[in-house]
C-alpha cells in the first residue's frame, strides 16, 4: 500500500490522481488533500477518501469543508500545503498545485524524505537547482508526472546519461498551430482555451497556445535528466500520441506512445518501478492512421525561444521568465492585453534582468517578486484600449 498526499486535489491532475486511486484501492490510499478555493469539490473528495489531513488556501474555505468532514488535522494558507506534504504517514506527494505556490511544500516534503511525483513544472523552472540539490542530499526521488517527462523517464529506464544523444519533447502545437502570424494579435482567450487534444487548467492551456508550456518543459527536463539545452529538442506532433522520445548515441530512437489521458503517467509515477493495469483506453494505431512531426515556428511562437534563452543564461533568468509569463497570462485571460503581448512582456522583463545569484529560497522569492512587479507595469503599459 502506497500512501498519497495530493497538493492541488481539485484541479485536473488531482482529479485524475483520484481516479487512479479508485482503480487501485488495494494499492493506493489517500492520506492528505490540499486545494485552493474549490471547497465544494474538496468536501466531496474528503468524504469519499477520508484523509487524515486537509488544507485549503483560505480559512473560510477550510471551514466549509471541515463542517462536513472532520479530519485529524485541518490547516489553511501556505502552512496547509506543508502540513499535507509532510504528514508522517505519506509516502508519495503528488505536486499538482498551480504556479509556484507549492515550492515550499515540495522542499519540506523532500526534507521529510517523501518521494515527489511532480506535475507542477514551475517548481523546477523557478528553483531547479535548490530542489534537485535537496533531493540528492536526502536521497529522495523526483518522479515526473508531466506526460512528456514521464515518457522520457520510461524510455530511459535502466540507461545511463552517457548513452543519450538527445531527448525530444513533443508538443501538440496548440489551437493556433496553423494560424497566420498576422491573425495572432486578434485571438481571444476563449479561442486559446480550446485545446485540440488535452483538457487542462486555464493557465497551462494558454501556455500550450503560446508554446511556453513546452519552453517550461525544456527547463524542467534540464533539471530532471541533467542534460544541457543543446541535448533537449522540441518537435510539433499534432496527434499527441508520441509523448516524447530519446535518441541514443547509435541513432536509435525510443518513444513512448499512449492516449491523451493523464491517468497513465500519474499511475506510472505511483507504481514505479512496477507497472499496473491502468484505467485508460488502449491505443489503436490503425484508428489514428498517421503521425506527423514538424519543427516549431519560433517566429510566430517566440515563448519557446525565450525559454531556451533563459535556460542558457542561468537559473535567475528562468525565475524572471516564469514570473513574467504568469503575470502576462493572467492579464491576457482578463482580456487586458493581446495574445502577442505575452512574449513581449516576458522578453522585456528578461532584458531588464542582468542576472544574479539565486542560491536560497529567499533569493528566489525576492527575484520572483521583482519580476512580477516589473511585468505588471509592462502589462499596464500594453493594456488594450477598449
Residues 213 and 101 grouped into a single domain:
no
C-alpha cell at 194: 480550446
pLDDT, residue 99, reads 67
CA distances from 179 to 55, 184, 187, 209, 342 (A): 42, 7, 10, 11, 17
Residues 83 and 168 grouped into a single domain:
no
CA dist 4 and 17 (Å) reads 10
pLDDT, residue 386, reads 43
| Partners of 253 in beta bridges | 247
Sequence-ordered list of residues with C-beta below 8 angstroms from that of 353, at least 6 positions apart, any chain: 316, 317, 320, 371
Angle between helices 78-85 and 103-111 (to 10 degrees): 30
The C-alpha cell 542576472 sits at 355
Decide if 277 is inside a domain: no
Decide if 115 is inside a domain: yes
CA dist 189 and 192 (Å) reads 5
Q: Is 185 exposed, middle or buried (0-12, 13-18, 19+ CB in 10 A)?
A: exposed
> Which has the closest alpha carbon to 117: 89, 138, 97, 88?
97
Q: Which of 144, 168, 188 is the last residue of a domain?
A: 144
pLDDT, residue 380, reads 95
Residues 39 and 131 grouped into a single domain:
yes
In the sheet with 242-248, reading across from the earlier edge strand, the strands are 232-236, 164-171, 242-248, 253-257
pLDDT, residue 297, reads 95
Decide if 211 is inside a domain: yes
DSSP code at position 294: B
Residues 167 and 255 grouped into a single domain:
yes
Residues 61 and 171 grouped into a single domain:
no
Decide if 293 is inside a domain: no
Decide if 272 is inside a domain: no
Residues 288-314 as b/e (b if ≥16 CB within 10 A, e otherwise) read eeeeeeeebeeebbbbbbbbbbbbeee
How are the residues of the chain apportioned to helix, strand and coil, as percentages rounded to the nearest 5? 50, 15, 35
Yes or no: say if 302 and 340 are a contact pair by the CB < 8 Å rule.
no
CA dist 225 and 236 (Å) reads 21
Residues 200 and 334 grouped into a single domain:
no
- What are the pLDDT tens digits along the chain (386 aa)? 999 999 999 999 999 999 999 999 999 999 999 999 999 999 999 999 999 999 999 999 999 999 999 899 999 999 999 999 999 999 999 999 876 778 999 999 999 999 999 998 889 999 999 999 999 999 999 999 999 999 999 999 889 899 999 999 999 998 999 899 999 999 999 999 987 776 677 888 999 999 999 999 999 999 999 999 999 999 999 999 999 999 999 999 999 999 989 999 999 999 999 999 999 999 999 999 999 999 999 999 999 999 999 999 999 999 999 999 999 999 999 999 999 999 999 999 999 999 998 999 999 999 999 999 999 999 999 998 64
Structural domain for 163, as ranges: 150-262
Decide if 193 is inside a domain: yes
Residues 130 and 227 grouped into a single domain:
no
CA dist 174 and 168 (Å) reads 17
Decide if 370 is inside a domain: yes
pLDDT, residue 384, reads 80
Q: Which of 247, 262, 277 is the last residue of a domain?
A: 262
Residues 243 and 184 grouped into a single domain:
yes
CA dist 145 and 357 (Å) reads 29
Q: Which of 144, 164, 183 is the last residue of a domain?
A: 144
Yes or no: say if 149 and 217 are a contact pair by the CB < 8 Å rule.
yes
Residues 125 and 37 grouped into a single domain:
yes
Cis peptide leading into 214, omega within 30 of 0?
Answer: no
SS3 367: helix
Decide if 278 is inside a domain: no
The C-alpha cell 490547516 sits at 75
Amino acid at each position: 500500500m502506497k500512501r498519497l498526499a495530493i497538493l492541488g486535489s481539485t484541479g485536473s491532475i488531482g482529479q485524475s490522481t483520484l481516479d487512479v486511486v479508485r482503480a487501485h484501492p488495494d494499492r493506493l490510499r489517500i492520506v492528505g488533500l490540499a486545494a485552493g478555493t474549490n471547497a465544494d469539490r474538496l468536501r466531496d473528495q474528503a468524504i469519499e477518501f477520508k484523509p487524515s489531513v486537509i488544507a485549503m488556501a483560505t480559512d473560510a474555505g477550510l471551514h466549509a469543508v471541515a463542517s462536513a468532514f472532520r479530519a485529524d488535522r485541518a490547516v489553511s494558507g501556505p502552512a496547509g500545503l506543508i502540513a499535507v506534504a509532510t504528514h508522517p504517514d505519506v509516502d508519495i506527494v503528488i505536486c499538482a498545485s498551480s504556479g509556484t505556490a507549492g515550492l515550499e511544500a515540495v522542499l519540506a516534503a523532500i526534507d521529510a524524505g517523501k518521494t515527489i511525483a511532480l506535475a507542477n513544472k514551475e517548481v523546477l523552472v523557478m528553483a531547479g537547482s535548490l530542489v534537485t540539490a535537496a533531493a540528492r542530499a536526502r536521497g529522495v526521488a523526483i518522479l515526473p508526472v508531466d506526460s512528456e517527462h514521464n515518457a522520457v523517464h520510461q524510455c530511459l529506464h535502466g540507461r545511463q546519461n552517457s548513452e543519450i544523444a538527445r531527448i525530444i519533447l513533443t508538443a501538440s502545437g496548440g489551437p493556433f498551430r496553423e494560424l497566420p502570424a498576422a491573425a495572432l494579435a486578434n485571438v481571444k482567450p476563449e479561442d486559446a482555451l480550446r485545446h485540440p487534444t488535452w483538457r487542462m487548467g486555464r493557465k497551462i492551456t494558454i501556455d500550450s497556445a503560446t508554446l511556453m508550456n513546452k519552453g517550461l518543459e525544456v527547463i524542467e527536463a534540464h533539471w530532471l535528466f541533467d542534460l544541457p539545452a543543446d541535448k533537449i529538442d522540441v518537435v510539433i506532433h499534432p496527434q499527441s500520441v508520441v509523448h516524447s522520445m530519446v535518441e541514443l548515441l547509435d541513432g536509435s530512437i525510443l518513444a513512448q506512445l499512449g492516449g491523451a489521458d493523464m491517468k497513465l503517467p500519474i499511475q506510472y509515477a505511483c507504481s514505479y518501478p512496477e507497472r499496473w493495469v491502468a484505467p485508460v483506453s488502449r491505443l489503436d494505431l490503425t484508428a489514428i492512421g498517421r503521425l506527423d512531426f514538424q519543427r516549431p515556428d519560433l517566429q510566430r511562437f517566440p515563448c519557446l525561444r525565450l525559454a531556451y534563452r533563459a535556460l542558457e543564461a542561468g537559473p535567475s533568468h528562468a525565475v524572471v521568465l516564469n514570473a513574467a509569463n504568469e503575470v502576462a497570462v493572467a492579464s491576457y485571460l482578463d482580456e487586458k492585453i493581446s495574445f502577442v503581448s505575452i512574449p513581449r512582456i516576458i522578453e522585456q522583463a528578461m532584458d531588464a534582468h542582468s542576472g544574479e545569484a539565486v542560491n536560497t529560497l529567499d533569493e528566489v522569492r525576492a527575484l520572483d517578486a521583482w519580476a512580477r512587479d516589473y511585468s505588471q507595469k509592462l502589462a499596464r503599459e500594453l493594456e488594450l484600449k477598449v
